Amino acid sequence: MPDDTYTFDDVSVVMGTYNEEAAIDTVLTDIAAVTDDRANVVCVDSSQDRTPEIAREHGATVVEQPPQGYGVAVHEAITTPDRPVVVTTDCDDTYPMERLPDFLDAINDGYDVVSGDRLYHGADAMPDTNRYGNIAFALLASLLLGERVHDTTTGMRAYRRRVIEDITWTENTGLSAELLLRPLARGYRVRELPIDYRERAGETTLDPLTGGLAIAKSILTVGVEERHR
Ligand SMILES: Nc1nc2c(ncn2[C@@H]2O[C@H](COP(=O)(O)OP(=O)(O)OP(=O)(O)O)[C@@H](O)[C@H]2O)c(=O)[nH]1
Ligand SMILES: [Mg+2]
């Protein structure tokens, strides 16, 4: 096997976890099963419930952090591992961990960022407001980038660690969009991979209106900044 072909020994799966007691056992069990227990797992945790204990029982690295929002947690999560491939996911059992091999294959095909596109298959499990919001975010981002993107706020992506290290990240709620837009604007090889999306296990902590406005602002800020670089 050539040196530049990665296996799950080269992969870290990382996530923010905020009171995900209802889902974390399933998510970490799925990751272990599909990666033959070879991916290392990092949870940046702000929970008051048993989430961090469950994560440790699964052998995950747990970094504790006061709750400061999605992007603060995920930024810590993506910059913690030292493995060459970093995969993000949410810890609410919405993303198909059985697709991890496809994400790794696309990295091995030469892509720098592989982004799970939930809207391709219709995202029936997504609340209507979120779905229409996500379609609007993708159109706005496509307009600013001059290139069609389909799902800017997906939580499931694989990155070559080099991309994460080469770029300065500024957004919080909008970090997911930023993690797609800046690499695209800078000419990294980015691929969107259609994925299924399931209904969330456990309660949401996100307010769709304030969250949505923050994401729209991030897309505008990042889009305009990248055009003027
Ligand atoms: N550590 C930490 N994790 C967070 C924080 N906010 C969100 N998360 C985690 O980040 C991931 C994404 O958050 P979600 O609540 O699923 O956000 P979403 O997918 O946009 O919305 P819903 O799934 O509809 O609730 C989940 O695993 C959360 O537990 C935070 O402030 N701190
Ligand atoms: Mg979620």
Q: Considering the chain, what percentage of its residues have pLDDT values greater than 90?
A: 95
Q: Residue 1 above 60 pLDDT?
A: no
pLDDT exceeds 80 at position 2: no
**pLDDT (tens digit, 9 = 90+) per residue, 49-80?**
999 999 999 999 999 999 999 999 999 999 99
17 lines ligand 1 (CB under 6 A): yes
4-54 per-position pLDDT tens digit:
799 999 999 999 999 999 999 999 999 999 999 999 999 999 999 999 999
Domain containing 93 equals: 8-227
Residue 134: what pLDDT? 97
The chain-wide mean pLDDT, for the chain, equals 96
- Nearest ligand, CA 137: 1
Counted residue by residue, the chain has a size of 229
Residue 23 lies in a domain: yes
Q: Indicate whether residue 93 lines ligand 1 (CB < 6 A).
A: no
Residue 186 inside a domain? The answer is yes
135 by Cβ neighbours in 10 Å (0-12 / 13-18 / 19+) ranks as middle
pTM: 0.97
Confirm or reject: Cβ of 134 under 6 Å from ligand 1. Answer: no
Query: Residue 101: inside a domain, yes or no?
Result: yes
Asked whether residue 1 is domain-assigned, the answer is no
Per-residue pLDDT tens digits for 105-117: 999 999 999 999 9
Nearest residue by C-alpha to atom 17 in ligand 1: 206
What is the dihedral angle through the alpha carbons of 168, 171, 177, 180, rounded to the nearest 10 degrees?
A: 10
Per-residue tokens: 15: 């996530």
- Domain for residue 68, yes or no? yes
Rounded to the nearest 10°, the torsion over CA 137, 143, 144, 150 is 40
**Residue 42 tokens, joined:** 């990092």
Q: What is the pLDDT, as a whole number, of residue 205?
A: 82
Question: Is 44 within a domain?
Answer: yes
Q: Which residue has the tokens 């989430």?
A: 51
**Considering the domain boundaries, does residue 196 fall inside one?**
yes
* Residue 178: inside a domain: yes
Number of structural domains in the chain: 1
Question: CATH number for the domain including 65?
Answer: 3.90.550.10
> What is the rounded average pLDDT of the residues 138-159?
98
